[in-house]
Amino acid sequence: MYEKLLFLVYVATLIFISSISNKVLLISAILFLIGISLKDALKISKKVIISVVFFTGTVSAFYLIVGIFENNVNIDYLIVVNLRVFALTYLTTFVFSKLNLFKVFSFSKDLYYVLILTYSQILSYKKLYEEVKMFMKSRVVKKLSFNDYLKFYGYLTMFFFDKSLRNSREISQAMKSRGFFND
């Protein structure tokens, strides 16, 4: 019951933060989230900053570049979007570190089954990625050049994409055989 209640509070907070357009309120929400996650605040903040800088930073940089060339840069909008993304990412990271999704979706056999499939895929990809990293450490004598590094991770991205397509077909067939689709 605790997990289901926490999940409902999470969804309501997600909607609330998504609707905020005031910088002061967003900063207050971030400070509140840091306050309630006091023990894990540094660890969560590090994860969130890395992910936000990597993904939203790229989009923000392109927004700035295009805006500069078109003389149409709205810095307030950019700040609000980045603060909102930070708050939502922090909230999600914090809640999912405390939440057992299997208990949240235990009310529905179908959702529970889909969650198990998804989680098994996540674990499989995570393990495979760790193995690839260990392979690179053990097989590469000299440090890769930047171009070789980009090529390797390009091939790795294509490998994971291809693996995802193959796995999705297999999972789709397995779900059809269990009656999940009525087409």
Placement of tokens 């999600």 in the chain:
92
DSSP state of 142: S
* 77 and 122 part of one domain: no
Judgement on whether residues 96 and 156 belong to the same structural domain of the protein: no
DSSP state of 145: P
pTM to 2 decimals?
0.74
What angle in degrees, to the nearest 10, is found between the helix axes of 41-69 and 75-98? 150
Domain, as residue range, for 167? 108-178
pLDDT in tens, 75-111: 899 999 999 999 999 999 999 998 988 888 888 888 8
pLDDT tens track for 43-83 = 999 999 999 988 898 889 999 999 888 888 888 999 999 99
Same domain membership, residue 124 and residue 64: no
∠ CA(26), CA(30), CA(35), 5° rounding? 145
CA dihedral for 153, 158, 162, 167, sign (positive or negative): positive
Residues 120 and 133 in one domain: yes
Q: In terms of domains, do 42 and 128 share one?
A: no
Tokens coding 47: 């994860």
Is 34 within a domain?
yes
Within a 10 A sphere around the Cβ of 66, how many other Cβ atoms? 11
